[in-house]
């Protein structure tokens, strides 16, 4: 259940909503870091976010729901799966919600699957649905 750590999360837990503005800074900072050089992301009147910025929204959600981080050991992201529904423009105010859709063990390692939805606070337009799977500890038995 939702507690201090990501390792506390269990199937059925609801995370958020977290509301935030997709600022031009947020988009530029992310785009520069991932060497995304399309001017669509770097500025101008029609600046839009790279779709992989959804991952940063997910982390924002996790920081809020699990303030003390991953748990006893480092987590590792293992699957990214995003479906885009609309361009995400700079200045949009979004609402990010998450749901733990699975928690399972495979080969002695524990995994958590989370489904995240990013929607416009005002219009309710869905920008993306994002499913993320994380390994809670790379070290077996950790």
Backbone angles phi, psi at 57, to 5 degrees: -65, -40
Min CB(32)–another protein separation in Å: 7
Q: At closest approach, how far in Å is the CB of 101 from another protein?
A: 15
> What is the nearest approach in angstroms of another protein to the Cβ of residue 103?
18
Nearer to another protein, 30 or 99 (CB): 30
Instruction: Choose among 55, 40, 25: nearest CA to 131.
Output: 55
Spatial contact of 115 and 142, defined as CB atoms under 8 Å apart:
no
Report which DSSP code applies to 136: S
Q: Judge whether 60 and 41 are in contact, CB under 8 Å.
A: no
> Closer to another protein at the Cβ: 13 or 75?
75
Q: How far is 119 from 96, CA to CA, in rounded Å? A: 7
Q: Which residues bind another protein (CB under 8 A)?
A: 20, 23, 25-26, 29-30, 32-38, 40, 48, 50-53, 55-56, 59-60, 63, 73-74, 76-87, 137-140, 142
Q: Which residues pair with 48 in a beta bridge?
A: 89
Q: How far is the CB of 40 from another protein (least distance, A)?
A: 8
- Residue 46: both structure tokens together: 């029609």
Which residue lies nearer to another protein by CB, 35 or 105? 35
- The nearer residue to another protein, 80 or 104, going by C-beta atoms, is 80
């Amino acid at each position: 259940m939702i507690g201090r750590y990501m390792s506390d999360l269990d199937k059925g837990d609801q995370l958020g909503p977290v509301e935030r503005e997709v600022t031009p800074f947020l988009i530029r900072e992310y785009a520069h870091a991932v060497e995304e050089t399309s001017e669509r992301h770097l500025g101008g009147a029609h600046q839009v976010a790279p779709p992989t910025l959804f991952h940063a929204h997910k982390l924002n959600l996790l920081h809020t729901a699990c303030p003390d981080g991953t748990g006893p050991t480092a987590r590792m992201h293992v699957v990214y799966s995003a479906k885009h529904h609309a361009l995400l423009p700079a200045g949009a105010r979004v609402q990010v919600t998450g749901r733990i859709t699975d928690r399972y063990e495979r080969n002695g390692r524990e995994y958590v699957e989370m489904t995240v939805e990013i929607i416009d606070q005002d219009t309710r337009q869905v920008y993306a649905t994002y499913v993320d799977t994380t390994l809670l500890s790379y070290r077996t038995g950790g």
